[in-house]
Amino acid sequence: MSWNEVLTFENSKDLLISIGIMLVFLLFRKLFAKYIFSLILKLGNKAKTAFFSNIFIAVEKPIQWLFIIIGTFIAMDYFPYLDRSNPLFKHLFRSSIIILVTWCLYNLTSSTSLVFSRINDRFNIRIDDILVPFFSKAIRLIIIAISISVIAQEFGYNVNGFVAGLGIGGLAFAFAAKEALANLFGGIVIITEKPFTLGDWILTPNVEGTVEDISFRSTKIRNFEDALVTVPNAMLSNSTITNWSKMGKRRVYFNLIVSHDTPKSNLDNSVRQIRYLLKNHQGIHPDTIIVSFDEYKENGLGLLFYFFTKTTVWVEHLEVKEDINFEIMDILENEQVTYAIPSNRVLFDVDE
């Protein structure tokens, strides 16, 4: 094809029309993003729930790309240097629409938690928070798998043969991905047995902190240094897990040593007053309260304190302990009971 044929008047006119169509659709895309979508989003924000707003946000980008795809498809009618009757253009157009639909559905899975919340409220069905991320990720994988299979069929590939081939190579795949499969089954064990859920404070042989996310492969735990630790599910499911968030009450245990020369009556009165204090304190759980003259020590008389606070929240627990400690100080001071100070006594044998 010579340059004279390329730059004919008809070709130039069709080329300009094609470019004009693209510019018009780009303008429509800009107007939609700036005005129409903003208006729709404001209307959605007036609803009682954020469900509709999440739907509008999920479809915003795909709809903007829809303008470009439709504009391109129409512009190809006038583009002089490509033949739109070629089946490849139809396959590409249909595949693009499938990808946009997949994109919308993929974005909508972020609203899964809201859907489950509404299910809980309406049908009184309790869905654990730990299951929501798994459901969301599983739905995304299904959406992507279906989209890939539909696109493959659009281009004439036999999906059934591909699936049959997976059965033949399944053993080799399982051997190559045995660690990934172990983590997957570990995640299933965590979901079914529910040793913890999102937001729980747990202790394992490797890490202690708050559970932030549970995925197919791993669990993310925020430790008390504010670092994010990723633990493979296979390792976590086979570990000893202490779930501190399941405490109904929180233990306080300590010893106090008073001086050897403390009179018996003063020590007995102190023990009785402290026991009475703990039994009548609003922050102390009444089930188990032990205050006892426990043992004789080298440097004094040992008192044992064993009780529980009603709250399990760390800061509130410390506040109750602090209040109890100050009260114990006042009781011992009033009874003239002094604390034992660690010391060594040296005896000299002086020959006369």
Nearest residue to 284 via CA among 294, 292, 276, 272: 276
For residue 149, is it within any domain?
yes
Within 13 A of 294's CA, how many CA atoms are on the CB side? 15
Q: List, for residues 160-180, the tens digit of each pLDDT value.
A: 665 555 555 555 555 555 676
Report, as an integer, the average pLDDT of 57-81. Answer: 79
Tell whether the model's pLDDT for residue 329 goes beyond 60: yes
Name which residue leads in pLDDT, 128 or 339: 339
In a domain, 305, yes or no: yes
Work out the pLDDT band at 25, boundaries 50, 70, 90.
confident
The predicted model gives 51-79 an average pLDDT of 77
Cα-trace Rg, the chain: 36
Question: Is residue 176 a part of any domain in this protein?
Answer: no
Kindly report, residue by residue over 99-111, the tens digit of the pLDDT: 888 888 888 776 6
CA torsion through residues 230, 129, 191, 163, sign: negative
Q: Is 319 helix (H, G, I), strand (E, B) or coil?
A: helix
Q: What is the pLDDT of residue 350?
A: 62
Report residue 261: phi and psi, to 5°. -85, 15
Pick from 267, 249, 257, 268: which is nearest to 307 by CA?
249
- Do 203 and 161 share a structural domain? no
In the prediction, which pLDDT does 30 show?
80
- pLDDT above 90 covers what percent of the chain? 21
77 contacts: CB under 8 Å, gap ≥ 6: 18, 84
The answer to whether residues 147 and 38 belong to one domain is: yes
Mean pLDDT of the region 252-274: 92
Is 87 among the domain residues? yes
C-alpha distances in angstroms, 111 versus 57, 93, 101, 159, 214? Answer: 11, 29, 16, 31, 17
pTM for the model: 0.51
pLDDT at 124 over 70: no
Residue 78: exposed, middle, or buried by beta-carbon count in 10 A (0-12, 13-18, 19+)? middle
DSSP state of 121: H
Q: Are 214 and 307 part of one and the same domain?
A: no
Compute the distance between CA of residue 201 and CA of residue 203 in angstroms, rounded to an integer: 7
Query: Do residues 54 and 110 touch, judged by C-beta distance below 8 A?
Result: yes
pLDDT at residue 125 is higher than 70: no
For 317, counting Cβ atoms within 10 Å of its Cβ (0-12 exposed, 13-18 middle, 19+ buried), the class is buried
Residues 13 and 66 reside in one and the same domain = yes
Both 210 and 138 in a single domain? no
Same domain, 64 and 119: yes
Helix, coil or strand: residue 86: coil
Is the pLDDT assigned to residue 6 strictly greater than 60?
no
∠ at Cα 333 (328, 334), nearest 5°? 100
| Mean pLDDT across 119-131 | 58
At 10 the pLDDT is 62
**Residue entry with tokens 């510019």:** 23
- What is the band of 19 on the pLDDT scale with cuts at 50, 70, 90? confident
Q: Which domain holds residue 308?
A: 247-334
Residue 160, token pair as written in the block = 């059934």
Residue 302 lies in a domain: yes
CATH code where residue 269 lies: 3.30.70.100
Residue 253 CA to residue 76 CA, distance in Å, equals: 80
Pick the residue with more confidence: 84 or 190?
190
User: Among the ranges 114-118, 125-129, 177-181, 267-271, which has the highest mean pLDDT value?
Assistant: 267-271
Q: What is the pLDDT of residues 187-238, one digit of tens each?
A: 777 777 788 888 888 999 889 999 988 877 888 999 988 899 999 888 888 8
Residue ending a domain, among 181, 215, 245, is 245
Q: Which of 211, 245, 279 is the last residue of a domain?
A: 245
Calculate helix-pair angle for 51-75, 37-45, nearest 10 degrees. Answer: 160
Residue pair 304/248 in contact by the 8 Å Cβ criterion: no
Check residue 252 and report its DSSP letter.
E
CATH, residue 225 = 2.30.30.60
Length of the chain equals 352
The residue from 213, 228, 245 where one domain ends is 245
Residue 351 pLDDT > 70: no
In this prediction, residue 1 carries a pLDDT of 47
Between 151 and 15, whose confidence is greater? 151
Number of structural domains found in the chain: 3
pLDDT value of position 166: 54
- Structural domain contains residue 135: yes
The mean of the pLDDT values for the chain is 79
- Which pLDDT belongs to residue 253? 93
Q: Is the dihedral of CA 87, 88, 93, 94 positive or negative?
A: positive
Tell me: do 15 and 162 sit in the same domain: yes
Q: Determine, yes or no, domain membership for 173.
A: no
Residue 157 shares a structural domain with residue 15: yes
Query: Do 134 and 118 belong together in one domain?
Result: yes
* Position with higher pLDDT, 168 vs 52: 52
Q: What is the pLDDT of residue 184?
A: 73
User: Do 271 and 303 contact (CB within 8 A), yes or no?
Assistant: yes
Same domain, 25 and 98: yes
Residue at 352 is within a domain:
no
Query: Which two three-digit tokens encode residue 321?
Result: 């302990």
Q: What is the pLDDT of residue 280?
A: 92
Provide the 10 A C-beta neighbour count for residue 45.
11
Do the beta carbons of residue 340 and residue 300 sit within 8 Å? Answer: yes
